[in-house]
Amino acid sequence: MSRSATVERTTGETKVTVSIDIDADGPVDVSTGVGFFDHMLHQLGKHGGFALSVHTDGDLHIDAHHTMEDTAIALGQALRSALGERRGVRRFADATVPLDEVLARAVVDLSGRPYMVHEEPLELAPMIGHDYPTSMTRHILESFAHHAAITLHVSVLRAANPGQRPDAHHVVEAQFKALARALRSASELDGRDEVPSTKGVL
C-alpha cells in the first residue's frame, strides 16, 4: 500500500501544494519564497528519507508568517494522510543531532493525539536572513504537529560554546534535522501487521 498523499490548501493569504511519499527516497523539491524556510524543508525531506514536494505562493509583501504557517499546516495534513491508520509503524522514535556546537533532540510519537513541547534558547538573534523570524520555529513545529496528529518534543540541549552567543542558523537547523531523523524512524514499518496501540487505533 502506497504511503503517499497530496494536500492543497488555499486561503485568502496563501496557496499551498504539498506532496509526500514516505517510502520513496527523494526527490525533494521545495519553493515557498522564504529562503531559510526552504532550506529547513529540504533538510526535513533529505534526512527524513522521503520524497517531498512543497510549493507555496503567499502574501510575502506583508511578511513570511502566513506562508510558513500554512505550509506547516499542509505538510502536517499530508503526513497524516500518508500515514493512514498507522498500521505496522514503529510509532515511537527519538533522534539527537549535532550541528557543530549545537545539539538538538526530537522525540516523536505517531500517537494520533496532537501535542507539542518546544525548548529553545531565548537569546537567539531575532532574524535569520531577511525573512525568517526565529520566533516562527516554535509556531511552525506546533502547526505541523497539530495537523499531523503527532506528539512532538523538540529540545535544544546545547546552543553555544561557553561565553558565546548561539548561532541561530545552527540552532534552528539542528532542530529540523533531529525532527527529520525521528520521523524517519517512527514511520518505519516493523513487520507487524497491526496498529501499535492497546486501543487498536491511532
- 132: DSSP letter: E
Q: How far, in Å, CA of 132 to CA of 32, rounded?
A: 12
- Residue 199: predicted pLDDT: 86
- Residue 130: predicted pLDDT: 94
Please report, for the chain, the start and end positions of each structural domain, with discontinuous segments joined by +. Answer: 4-186
DSSP 140-169: HHHHHHHHHT-EEEEEEEE-SSTTS---HH
Secondary-structure class of domain 4-186 per CATH: alpha beta
- Residue 200: predicted pLDDT: 81
C-alpha cell at 75: 505538510
What value does the mean pLDDT of the chain take?
Answer: 96
- Residue 7: predicted pLDDT: 98
- Residue 166: predicted pLDDT: 97
Q: What average pLDDT does range 68-88 have in this prediction?
A: 97
CB 177 within 8 A of CB 159: no
Q: Is the pLDDT of residue 121 over 90?
A: yes
Going by pLDDT thresholds of 50, 70 and 90, the confidence category of residue 140 is very high
* Nearest of 89, 52, 77, 85 to residue 185 by alpha carbon: 89
CB 155 within 8 A of CB 105: yes
- Residue 198: predicted pLDDT: 84
- Residue 196: predicted pLDDT: 85
Going by pLDDT thresholds of 50, 70 and 90, the confidence category of residue 193 is confident
Q: Is the pLDDT of residue 1 over 80?
A: no
Going by pLDDT thresholds of 50, 70 and 90, the confidence category of residue 82 is very high
- Residue 124: predicted pLDDT: 95
- Residue 176: predicted pLDDT: 98
Centroid of chain to Cα 99: 17
- Residue 136: predicted pLDDT: 98
Strands 51-58 and 127-128 come out as unpaired
162-171 pLDDT, tens per residue?
999 999 999 9
- Residue 162: predicted pLDDT: 94
Q: What average pLDDT does range 181-197 have in this prediction?
A: 93
pTM: 0.96
